[in-house]
Copies of this chain bind each other. A is one copy, B any other.
Amino acid sequence: MKIVLLGSGNVATHLAKALKVKGEDVVQVYSPNLNHANLLAHLIAAEAINDLNEVKQDADLYIISVKDDAIETVAQSLKQVTGLVVHTSGTTDISVLSAQVKKAGVFYPLQTFSKSKEVSFENIPLCIEANGESELTILNKLAAKISRQVYQLDGGKRKVLHLAAVFACNFPNHLYALANKILNQNGLDFEIIRPLIAETADKVMSNLPENVQTGPAVRADESTLNKHLSMLTDMPELQNIYLTLSDSIKLTLK
């Protein structure tokens, strides 16, 4: 398949590499910043462009992987293409595309991407959606090439998934950061707590989290809960978070 990639951020970069490895032909990379386009285009032997008017009109697939609020503008520039146009957003409705182009779809990888860390796309769930059966077939085939987990989800379910991902990824990472803050303020290094973080995640690979909850709140150990709250007197923000999450854990006991 002849593919044009519109975007050069983390999702675009990881996706482009995975497609390239599987022999797909990513012919162009667009970014409003030509340096950014060049960086990624160079990696996958594509052409870098920074003008939407230069987008090739004869590609089979256009992947829009830009910030959510820029998707519509990019889609407007693809009104004339006959190929399938997809975005990679968890929260954006397919209608944002189908209002502009004939063949629209979604190709949403459920993962947290960093520039600095490689991930194996094989283990990344890919959520696909399309406004036609043949388009869905195309996306299904492409998704199955690069991932072992492909889900056909409508926009409503995809948005639910994106919300759940905030609870399962963004919030836990912030709690790691708060743990690090507590450690640092007391001359302790984040290194000491890494094995605990790894095991906590590993546990739920084969269990449901509600079945393996540990800690003072799930034991209703008020003595420890009060000790912890008093240790956070100088950090009211953390105290509030401690209380809010402990109360929520205690609700599961009822």
Can you name the residue of chain B whose Cβ is closest to the Cβ of A182?
A: B164
Q: Are B112 and A192 interface neighbours, CB within 8 A?
A: no
A23 at the interface (CB under 8 A from B): no
A149 at the interface (CB under 8 A from B): yes
Can you name the residue of chain B whose Cβ is closest to the Cβ of A245?
A: B171
Chain B: minimal CB distance from A162 (Å) = 8
Q: Which residues of A56-79 have CB atoms within 8 Å of chain B's CB atoms?
A: 68-69
Q: Are B68 and A221 interface neighbours, CB within 8 A?
A: yes
Given A174-B245, A188-B164, A110–B193 Cβ distance below 8 Å?
A: yes
Partner of A223, one of B68, B116, B174, B221: B68
Q: Are B111 and A195 interface neighbours, CB within 8 A?
A: yes
Can you name the residue of chain B whose Cβ is closest to the Cβ of A91?
A: B224
Chain B: minimal CB distance from A6 (Å) = 19
Q: Are B204 and A176 interface neighbours, CB within 8 A?
A: yes
Can you name the residue of chain B whose Cβ is closest to the Cβ of A117?
A: B203
Q: Are A161 and B193 interface neighbours, CB within 8 A?
A: yes
What would be 5 A-B contacts, judged by CB atoms less than 8 Å apart? A68-B223, A125-B196, A160-B183, A174-B209, A201-B202
A interface residues, Cβ below 8 angstroms from B: 68-69, 91, 110-114, 116-117, 119, 123-125, 149, 151, 156-157, 159-161, 163-180, 182-183, 186-188, 190, 192-210, 212-218, 221, 223-224, 227-228, 231-232, 237-238, 240-242, 244-245, 248-249, 251-252
